[in-house]
Structures are given as structure tokens and as C-alpha cells.
């Protein structure tokens, strides 16, 4: 009887593994099919997704359970009910934080042009775009092993189809990295005031002084340096 029971448990465990592998394979195929149906360079999207997932896996740290005192405070303060807190912890355990990080990183990667796409937008051959990159007239970052140009630097209302003042900002923005640079350019800054705080993109698009943006960029860099000190 014991031998039969062990054999049955062994068979069931292998069956569960096979079912899990089959479900994973089907989910992966659905993802590939969905990406293939997207407009643009589907291989880049797949590579960016894979690289981002790999980076999250490499840096992932298992979420530690909440300290009992912290848990008690969150419930008694009314921030969470006990059921809400249980659900939040369950979502984190399932990987919801990784999903949000993956989504944000992928969206950031998708808000870029390839060299060829940038050339098509500017009405220039790819070699001309590469030359402008060499001359630090455009911002570009390595994304999934490819040189990609953030779309925020391209506009329709200027003769050269570039954000006014861009060339003066390229060295500083390139040093920031894609995440920080895109965040800075799309976030209202206190120094850029015209009927309310404006983003650097809006400020420059509206004819604002690029020197003010540079000052704001320098102030942000100084603040980050002080925080790291």
C-alpha cells in the first residue's frame, strides 16, 4: 500500500509540473503573438521586454513580511483595513511590484525611435542621424542592445523638427541616463513658471530660455549629489 501511495504521489507531482510547463508555454506564445501584432519593430519590443525582465530578476529581493508593529500601525491608523493589507501583501508576493516595474520600463523603452525611425521623422538618412549623435546634437541611450532616441526631443513645429535648445542640453541629459532624463523633461519644474510650473518640454516648445532649463537641471543634479552624500 505504501509503495502504491508513493508511486501515485510521484505521478501526480510530475503531472502538475507538466501542466505548469504547458501553461507557461501557452502564456509565452500568447505574449509573442501579441508583440508580433504591434506596429513597429516587434523584435526590439521583445528584446526590451526580455532585458527588462532579466534586470528585475537579477536585482529582485524577496519582500520581507511586515513587522508586526508596522502592520498594527497601518491598520489602526486607518491606512488599510486588515483585509486590504492582506490583499496588498498577497499581490506583492505574487509579483505585482515586478509587473509594475516591467510595465514602466517597457513603456519607457517604447517611447523611443530607432536611428532609422528618427531619420524618417527628420527627413534625413540614418548616416546623418549617426553624425548628429556623434556631434552631440541628439540624445540617445542604449536600450536592449540598440541605440534608441527618446521621442520627446522630436517636435513638429520647428523647422528642424527638434526641441528648441536641445543641443545645449544633450551632454547633461546624456549623463543623466534615460530614466532620469525622461523624468526631468516631462516633470513640471518650479523654475519654469509661466501660468504655472511647466515641464522643460513645454517650456522650450513655447520659446522659453534654455538657460533656465540648464539651471534647473544643474539644481536637480546638485540635489541628487547631496542626497547621495
Asked whether residue 225 carries a pLDDT value surpassing 50, the answer given is no
pLDDT at 34: 78
Distance CA 97, CA 195 (A): 37
Crossing angle of helices 96-110 and 178-185, in 10° steps, is 80
pLDDT at 54: 72
Output 2 or 124, whichever has higher pLDDT: 124
Output 168 or 7, whichever has higher pLDDT: 168
Q: If you average pLDDT over every residue of the chain, what do you get? A: 78
Cell of 134: 556623434
Cell of 87: 490583499
Quick: pLDDT tens for 65-116: 667 777 777 778 777 788 877 776 666 665 566 667 677 777 777 788 999 9
Q: Report residue 66: phi and psi, to 5°.
A: -65, 140
pLDDT at 11: 47
Distance CA 180, CA 206 (A): 23
| Number of residues assigned to the chain | 229
pLDDT at 140: 94
Give the three-class secondary structure for 113: strand
Asked whether residue 129 carries a pLDDT value surpassing 80, the answer given is yes
Question: Which residue ranges make up each domain of the chain?
Answer: 31-110, 112-228
Instruction: Give DSSP secondary structure letters for 143-196.
Output: ETTEEEEEGGGB-SSSTTSB-TTHHHHHHHHHHH-HHHHHHHHTS-EEEEESSS
∠ CA 38-39-40 to the nearest 5 degrees?
Answer: 115
Asked whether residue 42 carries a pLDDT value surpassing 60, the answer given is yes
Asked whether residue 201 carries a pLDDT value surpassing 80, the answer given is yes
pLDDT at 43: 80
CB 162 within 8 A of CB 119: no
Q: Residue 33, by phi and psi: left (phi above 0), alpha (psi -120 to 50) or beta?
A: alpha
Cell of 180: 532620469
Distance CA 88, CA 76 (A): 16
The mean pLDDT of 168-191, rounded to a whole number, is 89
Cell of 7: 508511486
Distance CA 147, CA 193 (A): 34
Asked whether residue 229 carries a pLDDT value surpassing 50, the answer given is no
CB 82 within 8 A of CB 53: no
Asked whether residue 135 carries a pLDDT value surpassing 50, the answer given is yes
Amino acid at each position: 500500500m505504501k509503495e502504491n501511495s508513493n508511486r501515485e504521489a510521484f505521478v501526480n507531482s510530475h503531472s502538475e509540473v507538466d501542466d505548469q510547463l504547458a501553461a507557461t508555454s501557452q502564456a509565452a506564445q500568447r505574449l509573442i503573438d501579441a508583440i508580433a501584432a504591434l506596429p513597429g519593430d516587434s523584435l526590439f519590443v521583445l528584446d526590451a521586454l526580455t532585458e527588462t525582465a532579466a534586470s528585475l530578476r537579477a536585482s529582485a529581493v524577496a519582500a520581507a513580511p511586515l513587522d508586526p508593529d508596522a502592520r498594527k500601525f497601518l491598520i489602526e491608523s486607518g491606512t488599510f483595513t486588515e483585509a486590504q493589507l492582506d490583499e496588498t501583501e498577497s499581490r506583492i508576493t505574487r509579483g505585482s511590484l515586478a509587473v509594475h516595474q516591467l510595465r514602466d520600463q517597457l513603456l519607457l523603452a517604447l517611447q523611443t525611435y530607432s536611428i532609422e525611425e528618427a531619420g524618417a521623422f527628420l527627413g534625413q538618412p540614418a548616416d546623418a542621424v549617426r553624425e548628429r549623435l556623434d556631434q552631440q546634437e541628439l540624445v540617445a541611450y542604449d536600450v536592449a542592445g540598440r541605440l534608441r532616441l527618446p521621442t520627446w526631443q522630436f517636435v513638429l513645429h520647428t523647422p528642424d523638427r527638434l526641441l528648441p535648445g536641445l543641443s545645449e542640453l544633450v551632454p547633461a541629459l546624456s549623463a543623466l541616463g534615460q530614466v532620469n532624463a525622461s523624468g526631468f523633461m516631462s516633470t513640471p519644474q518650479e523654475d519654469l513658471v509661466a501660468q504655472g510650473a511647466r515641464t522643460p518640454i513645454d517650456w522650450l516648445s513655447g520659446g522659453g530660455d534654455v538657460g533656465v532649463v540648464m539651471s534647473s537641471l544643474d539644481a536637480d543634479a546638485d540635489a541628487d549629489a547631496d542626497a547621495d552624500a
